[in-house]
Amino acid sequence: MIKILFLCHGNICRSPMAEFVMKDMLKKAGLAQEFQIESAATSTEEIGNPVYPPARRKLAEYGIDCSGKTARQLQNSDYDKYDLLIGMDHANIRSMYQICGGDFADKMHLLMDFTSRPGEVADPWYTGDFDATWRDVMEGCQRLLDDLLKKRGVI
């Protein structure tokens, strides 16, 4: 089983969007049982809060349900628990390093680095543009999944 943890600052917009988009992709591909997908925050600001309403609405537009998800913070022990820790921006990566004490097994990556346009996922908390974030998350998750399937010899 491949275990992936998506991370953003508050775990109410980008990382839960990535979590539920990836779960949806895996379900549609018949691969849900081979993966464990979750998300977390690098901060404590939103702990216990549900997915931000505009992010929830954007997921719902595509038939993706995220009900029951509440924000939690990354723990040092998550480094050993997950195969990949995927951050949405460089600040997330810095915080992930701090919380986990480094990246000794090359598990930490930016989601967009799996695409042809490396960099950061647009943060809708500041931009208000959930469409741009949706496009980044969709592309990043699809390329990450393609990469994992290629490594496993599936495609």
Tens of pLDDT, residues 69-103: 999 999 999 999 999 999 999 999 999 999 999 99
- Among the listed residues 8, 13, 66, 141, the single catalytic one is 8
Annotation marks residue 14 as catalytic: yes
Number of domains in the chain: 1
> What is the domain-level CATH number for residue 11?
3.40.50.2300
Which residue in 27, 39, 57 sits closest to 121, CA to CA?
39
- Among the listed residues 13, 14, 56, 66, the single catalytic one is 14
- 28's CB contacts (< 8 A; 6+ apart) are none
Edge-to-edge, what's the strand order for the sheet holding 35-41? 35-41, 2-8, 84-87, 108-110
Cβ pair 1, 35 in contact under 8 A: yes
- Among the listed residues 56, 123, 136, 141, the single catalytic one is 123
Annotation marks residue 136 as catalytic: no
pTM recorded for the entire structure:
0.96
- Between strands 35-41 and 84-87, the pairing is unpaired
Whether the per-residue pLDDT at 45 is higher than 70: the answer is yes
Which range of residues forms the domain containing residue 145? Answer: 2-151
DSSP secondary structure letter of residue 86 = E
E strand or H helix that includes residue 139: helix 130-151
In this prediction, residues 120-131 reach a mean pLDDT of: 94
Annotation marks residue 66 as catalytic: no
In this prediction, residues 34-53 reach a mean pLDDT of: 97
- 34's CB contacts (< 8 A; 6+ apart) are 1, 2, 26
